[in-house]
Amino acid sequence: MEPLSRDLLPVSAVVGADGRLSVGGIDVADLAKKIGTPAFVYDEAELRDRCREAVSAWGDGVAYAAKAFLCRAMASLAHEEGMCIDVSTGGEMHVALAGGVPPDRLVLHGNNKSEGELATALEAGVGRIVVDSFDEIDRLERLASVGTCPSVLARITPGVEAHTHEYVATGIDDSKFGFSLATGAAHSAVNRLSKSTVLRLVGIHAHIGSQIFRVDSFTHEVEVLAEFFTALGLPELNIGGGLGVAYVEGEKAPSIAEWAATVKEACDRLGIPRDVRVTAEPGRSIAARAGISLYQVGTIKEIPGIRTYVSVDGGMSDNPRPVLYGSGYEAFLPRAATADRPRPARIVGKHCESGDVIVREALLDDPKPGDVIVTPATGAYGYAMASNYNGVPRPPVIFCAEGDARVVVRRESFEDLTARDAP
Ligand SMILES: *Cc1c(COP(=O)(O)O)cnc(C)c1O
């Protein structure tokens, strides 16, 4: 019933006396008219603030996990604000480099890096390669023997798995990622890496999950890793990403600063030397809250005694998270951002699937065909996971700052949809 909580909006979001929402000094409903819908709109200051918070909390070396949201503008922004960039494929590496990120500020991840991806990384001189398997050690040793000596971290599977509100100790680890601590693979891997004459082992890495609200999950991760790590006497410990963000009313996520403070305290308590670079790689917590999605309402269908369906001009092609994970979102009308929202509705997309839901149980003011609807906190894993399903062109990405709206990725066109087809 209540108007939308401000906690779900970008920090710079302002609701004027007339009830209209603006982000980065741009009236959102007007912007939708100008650039069309659907669209991803980011508060650029929010992105920058989160990057700065991460650098100030973790120190130099903290990396933005590009898979949450990447385009050239985002890569440059994160780099300008002092973050390294985490990439997990040759494609992400290409975009980050094209965004002007110096190769030594890149961290390369992936459980199945190809020979080509590794060769490109070595040639470019990426700062860190996070080694994930014995096969990869073979490949790297073969490739590196003819060139420079890359700095590598060993990815360890700590046997801790965290989900939104809890973590589980998984014992023997059933994972495609990393070297298991429990099976002894971790010991063998660091043994091999530390003896390598062509690879420079600088630290260990672990990642326990995503959308994690409890910082004690990370404390537990450090507890599991501490003895193993300390015995190696290495200079870097990367605890991965995964800090959660609020998507719906009532959720409360720790800040990046609280996350870092908790982890660093645990490191101190567990005797990890002070001069070790303890770092992390947040993705979602940098990008999610800065972004909102704009849609236009097309059809409204009231099924008596059942529910009201509000159909918008996007859907699972620009936000597959509700389909993939059953994720919840909020929605509101940016022309009346402080209005009560008395009407329950299901907001659905335009795809040929009954499961094409954006918000399963939305509360809205009084939506009419033609209205613009906003879903907040869609800055991470939305654009990044977008597809052309049903031939729907992918939305543009707009950065708003100080009254200026900058198109950083244009809308896909129908011509784009056939551009790669053989003539
Ligand atoms: C996905 C991922 C991240 C980022 O996770 P977020 O939940 O977006 O913070 C960081 N590191 C690794 C290795 C990942 O796979």
Q: Tell me the per-residue pLDDT of 316-337, one tens digit each, with 9 for 90 and over.
A: 999 999 999 899 999 999 998 8
Residue 147 has pLDDT above 70, yes or no: no
Please work out, in degrees rounded to the nearest 5, the angle formed at the alpha carbon of residue 382 by the alpha carbons of 330 and 307.
35
- Specify whether the backbone of 211 is left (phi greater than 0), alpha (psi in -120 to 50) or beta: left
Q: Out of 7-16, 76-85, 197-206, which region has the weakest mean confidence (pLDDT)?
A: 7-16
Residues with CB under 6 A from ligand 1: 65, 67-68, 86, 109, 207, 210, 240-243, 281-285
In this structure, the residue with its CA closest to atom 10 of ligand 1 is 241
Dist CA 170 CA 159 (whole Å): 5
Dist CA 54 CA 34 (whole Å): 34
Task: Using DSSP bridges, classify how beta strands 397-401 and 39-43 pair: parallel, antiparallel or unpaired.
Answer: parallel
Taken in order 257, 2, 22, 387, the sign of the CA dihedral is positive
Residue 291 has pLDDT above 60, yes or no: yes
Pairwise pLDDT comparison (42 vs 366), residue with the higher score: 42
CA distances from 302 to 299, 311, 370 (A): 10, 11, 17
Among 51, 58, 67, residue to substitute to test ligand 1 (most atoms within 8 Å of Cβ): 67
Cα-to-centroid distance, 69 and ligand 1 (Å) = 11
**Does residue 79 sit in helix, strand or coil?**
helix
Q: Which whole number is the average pLDDT over 2-24?
A: 89
Work out which ligand 1 atom sits closest to the CA atom of 282.
9
Cα-to-centroid distance, 376 and ligand 1 (Å) = 21
Residue among 175, 253, 186, 256 nearest 208 (CA): 175
Give the model's confidence band at 282: pLDDT under 50 very low, under 70 low, under 90 confident, else very high.
very high
Give the model's confidence band at 160: pLDDT under 50 very low, under 70 low, under 90 confident, else very high.
confident
Whether the model pTM is above 0.85:
yes
- The crossing angle, in degrees rounded to 10, of helices 115-124 and 90-98 is 30
Please state, as a whole number, how many other Cβ atoms lie within 10 Å of the Cβ of residue 418.
10
Q: Which whole number is the average pLDDT over 70-88?
A: 98
Dist CA 417 CA 419 (whole Å): 6
CA distances from 187 to 57, 73, 182, 361, 409 (A): 30, 40, 9, 48, 45
Dist CA 26 CA 406 (whole Å): 11
Whether CATH 3.40.1190.20 fits 44-286: no
Among 210, 214, 255, residue to substitute to test ligand 1 (most atoms within 8 Å of Cβ): 210
In this structure, the residue with its CA closest to atom 15 of ligand 1 is 207
Helices H / strands E in the chain, number of each: 12, 22
Cα-to-centroid distance, 117 and ligand 1 (Å) = 19
Domain ranges of the chain: 6-43+289-418, 44-286
Residue among 57, 106, 41, 110 nearest 78 (CA): 106
In this structure, the residue with its CA closest to atom 3 of ligand 1 is 241
Residue 27 has pLDDT above 80, yes or no: yes
Residues sharing a CB contact under 8 Å with residue 320, sequence separation 6 or more, in sequence order? 385, 386, 387
Cα-to-centroid distance, 239 and ligand 1 (Å) = 10
CA distances from 294 to 38, 91, 158, 409 (A): 5, 27, 40, 15
What's the pLDDT score for residue 6? 82
CA distances from 280 to 103, 120, 133 (A): 19, 24, 21
Cα-to-centroid distance, 92 and ligand 1 (Å) = 14
Torsion of CA 117, 195, 272, 221, to 10 degrees: 50
So which residues are the catalytic ones? 352
Residue 3 has pLDDT above 80, yes or no: no
Work out which ligand 1 atom sits closest to the CA atom of 242.
7
Within the chain, what is the greatest distance between any pair of CA atoms?
73
Residue 340 has pLDDT above 90, yes or no: no
Residue among 146, 57, 130 nearest 88 (CA): 130
Among 87, 89, 207, 263, residue to substitute to test ligand 1 (most atoms within 8 Å of Cβ): 207
Work out which ligand 1 atom sits closest to the CA atom of 68.
8
Cα-to-centroid distance, 294 and ligand 1 (Å) = 26
Amino acid in the structure at residue 218: F
What's the pLDDT score for residue 201? 98
Give the model's confidence band at 148: pLDDT under 50 very low, under 70 low, under 90 confident, else very high.
confident
In this structure, the residue with its CA closest to atom 7 of ligand 1 is 242
Q: Per-residue DSSP letters for 163-212?
A: -SS-EEE-SS---SSSEETTTSHHHHHHHHHHH-SS-EEEEEE---BSSB
Q: Quick one: CATH architecture of 6-43+289-418?
A: Beta Barrel (2.40)
Q: Which whole number is the average pLDDT over 20-37?
A: 97
Percent of the chain scored above 90 by pLDDT? 89
What's the pLDDT score for residue 172? 64
Give the model's confidence band at 4: pLDDT under 50 very low, under 70 low, under 90 confident, else very high.
confident
